[in-house]
Structure 1
């Protein structure tokens, strides 16, 4: 895993053009600095990422949903081009593997500063993580969360001021399966020490049980851990591998955090692990329906029998593996669902222009007449239950919506997310929850999901502006 593969970039790419554009924008910003100081305070983006309920919010006040991958920087420092390659493949986030010195690295402050600047140049959000903590309590060489905090303090100078672009994942899978309840106090202490040291970033905490939380220690104690953060800015991360082999296990875990009103991401997942298949499609489908971020493992360079989790071969973005195709090009994969954080402004690579034939203004793609339309699709059907996803298409711009439908044959909604929903007999009424109420004219947006009982069905749905 520590072997470094060196590969020179060949042809100029969109990435080079992006960097040139960003440099031009930066120069313009300097020239306009005097005007900037005259703007009202609320016109200037300030602060960084923060948590509102179950949502991660960027520095401009907009929801941000992670869609990305991991890159093992500490093992492959020669693969610095990977950040731009991931951006070119459509990722809006990269989870960066760093070393704190107990097992790998340490990753130097200057190296981390370079990574942050590269991510910003390529318009991807950095989630920085210490990997040395993996399996603490069971893996004898693993670092403790306290040692991870020491590392973050040692490079704090290059992290300050980057709160709008960087999240800190305190420690990767920071407890094994032995005495895993120790994770609770260790995580609370780590959060409190980070805050007392002056860190104002969104903090990400991985679950115990090698990240998979099969004992539900993180799930059952998440409110207590969240309360330990004086800034209320902690994001929970579960890793989904062989513990999550069936759809219902994924649904149940997501349901638990939805019910608590706490934010969750899938910090790692694969399509198989430990000789078992993982319900990766359910991870993607459920995450899309609920507005949950995910970071698939991993870009390239896997070893020790899990080479099948490489998304590209030999760090070559032109050689996507079958897993890479699923991560980037599946129905709810990165290409189809990722949106840049709004702190980066417009994406220079966005092919949609005012005269692009796919824009809503084109007469061939006129929005539907009236306020809105809606539809139910069946995302999963496992016999004893099924998952429905609901999308809304706006005829006129919406700031909120209300949907109504009637089940054809005794179906009921067992659970739901991202909606206010009521049912009486076979009649169902559902409405937005605020953040998912705004839909531009002509835009179609998947707005919520539910688990149904009975035979899967897609009845006609009526939509009206709220």
Structure 2
């Protein structure tokens, strides 16, 4: 959140066109002794996959509450706490002795400690906010409290380090901050927040994350997105997070709530998507919110026995903390479970329909016990998790008719060890009803080296479409330069357009339209095919 009073972000969500993330660079050969990143995953000091499940606590404003709060947060099932600290530029500085005490309390309660400097919040728009360079000065100033704690502490350089203005400077400033911290002797996993008050509606972090990761000589940086009103649909949540996962860039949802003054975030989708993709989330916040956003308190008056509706949802609801958190292996002592399960047997396909299928596979084995399986869809070198199961079967839905897919399975044990991938299986979905449920008209205005296009999507079904993604490929070298009434990204020739809030619903029998403009080095043409939410549309 912005500050203790948590004011709402200003400005509207812009229609931004950007290229997809580049493939992340390969991590260095030798892993550090503490937390580290490998193949896009955050691993703890024991080399185990670590998925954050926890909350934020405003230590800098409520230091007398911290010791009890950490005990209560752990009792609720969390494995991580993100602790708000101050550099001294906006609030009372948390010095090295105070930071050391917080770290000791986290360790005492078997919690991983994500420490964040809050004074950067909304820099460039919030008048009192300071640049990332000030946060770097702070971390180097409390270095004595951090060195040697790499197994237990993640350094979140600066909270929401740009508002909605001048956010393009985020990339260079973040690279510089990482370089200074590494040169100053901090070998911890670093966490970097997105600009735009943490919500990255401009996609600045998303589209520059690979370059920022490559700038870390330790290859040990995690990206932090804050999901509030910008992320009010499941499609938006999954699209944003999946792009990082597919690019093998580590990401965590470092803040989110069940409502907010800038819109209504889809907390169910955030938690479900994080669970399905195996990424962390940290709810905002334990207690003490003010300025009209008291509804974001997880408990009333720092009293763990008085959870709010938001607290009950986060801790005890579907995909909640109590059901999904796993403690970091560093707290299990020496000699803990370090053996991964064997690979599951080759999956088999049954019950194929036009939109789904059933997979089954021989069980994996483990020296303790297999606790679950992750089903992934393979697309070239990318993996997308599409289902989880506690048994040796899973149903995959939401597929397109007459389309070929490839799947594989991983096994997990209670310690977080993940097996090698199973053999793959390929299947083709059945033919649909014969009449496409959607039709697309692409109205091209071609000027040779540039073009405009109006894209009309018609819903031919008897049910409204609530939320959509249209995918198509340009036939030549066209590159998008602007979009209106939708948001779009382009990778190579492939374009993915997602609705805006005002074009989200396509009525039964109705239509919506969006426009785009672009450039081309070799003329322009009409895309040959369109898919809407995975289903093939006819052209009209």
TM-score by length of 2: 0.62
Distance 1:150 1:375, change over 3 A: farther
Provide the rounded CA distance (Å) in 2 between the counterparts of 1:310 and 1:388. Answer: 42
2:53 alignment partner in structure 1: 67
Does 1:337 pair with 2:318?
A: no
2:97 alignment partner in structure 1: 110
2:33 alignment partner in structure 1: 47
Unaligned runs of 5+ in 2: 6-30, 334-343, 388-395, 423-468, 470-532
Provide the rounded CA distance (Å) in 2 between the counterparts of 1:191 and 1:296. Answer: 25
2:178 alignment partner in structure 1: 191
Does 1:76 pair with 2:43?
A: no
Provide the rounded CA distance (Å) in 2 between the counterparts of 1:268 and 1:402. Answer: 25
List aligned pairs for 1:367-446, cutoff 5 A.
394=363, 396-397=365-366, 417-418=384-385, 425=402, 428-432=405-409, 436-439=410-413
Q: Which has the larger radius of gyration?
A: 2
Distance 1:424 1:100, change over 3 A: same
- SS, match of residue 320 in structure 1: coil
The correspondence for 1:327, drawn from 282, 292, 314, is 314
Off by >3 Å, runs of 4+ in structure 1: 370-376, 386-405, 418-429, 436-440, 451-455
- Higher strand proportion: 2
**Contact 1:423–1:429 (CA under 8 A) maintained in structure 2:** no
Distance 1:116 1:374, change over 3 A: farther
- Residue 115 of structure 1: how far off its partner (Å): 0.6
2:248 alignment partner in structure 1: 261
Provide the rounded CA distance (Å) in 2 between the counterparts of 1:263 and 1:104. Answer: 31
**Contact 2:4–2:289 (CA under 8 A) maintained in structure 1:** no
- Residue 274 of structure 1: how far off its partner (Å): 1.6
Does 1:203 pair with 2:190?
A: yes
1:242 alignment partner in structure 2: 229
The correspondence for 1:98, drawn from 37, 60, 85, is 85
List aligned pairs for 1:16-27, cutoff 5 A.
none
**Contact 1:289–1:389 (CA under 8 A) maintained in structure 2:** no
**Contact 1:54–1:262 (CA under 8 A) maintained in structure 2:** yes
Distance 1:156 1:309, change over 3 A: same
Provide the rounded CA distance (Å) in 1 between the counterparts of 2:358 and 2:386. Answer: 11
- SS, match of residue 288 in structure 1: helix
Provide the rounded CA distance (Å) in 2 between the counterparts of 1:288 and 1:249. Answer: 16
- Residue 54 of structure 1: how far off its partner (Å): 2.0
Provide the rounded CA distance (Å) in 2 between the counterparts of 1:148 and 1:330. Answer: 36
Distance 1:60 1:208, change over 3 A: same
Provide the rounded CA distance (Å) in 1 between the counterparts of 2:61 and 2:374. Answer: 51
Does 1:175 pair with 2:162?
A: yes
Provide the rounded CA distance (Å) in 1 between the counterparts of 2:309 and 2:110. Answer: 26
- Residue 389 of structure 1: how far off its partner (Å): 12
**Contact 2:95–2:142 (CA under 8 A) maintained in structure 1:** yes
1:305 alignment partner in structure 2: 292
**Contact 1:394–1:444 (CA under 8 A) maintained in structure 2:** no
Distance 1:224 1:403, change over 3 A: closer
Unaligned runs of 5+ in 1: 4-44, 347-369, 377-385, 406-411, 456-466
- SS, match of residue 335 in structure 1: helix
Moved more, 225-234 or 388-397: 388-397
- Higher helix proportion: 1
**Contact 1:394–1:439 (CA under 8 A) maintained in structure 2:** no
**Contact 1:404–1:427 (CA under 8 A) maintained in structure 2:** no
- Residue 388 of structure 1: how far off its partner (Å): 11
Provide the rounded CA distance (Å) in 1 between the counterparts of 2:47 and 2:69. Answer: 29
Provide the rounded CA distance (Å) in 2 between the counterparts of 1:66 and 1:186. Answer: 26
Once the two structures are superposed, residues 119-168 of structure 1 have per-residue CA deviations (whole angstroms, 9 ceiling, x without a partner) of 00100000000000000000111011000000001100110000000000
- Residue 453 of structure 1: how far off its partner (Å): 3.8
- SS, match of residue 267 in structure 1: strand
- Residue 194 of structure 1: how far off its partner (Å): 0.3
List aligned pairs for 1:284-299, cutoff 5 A.
284-299=271-286
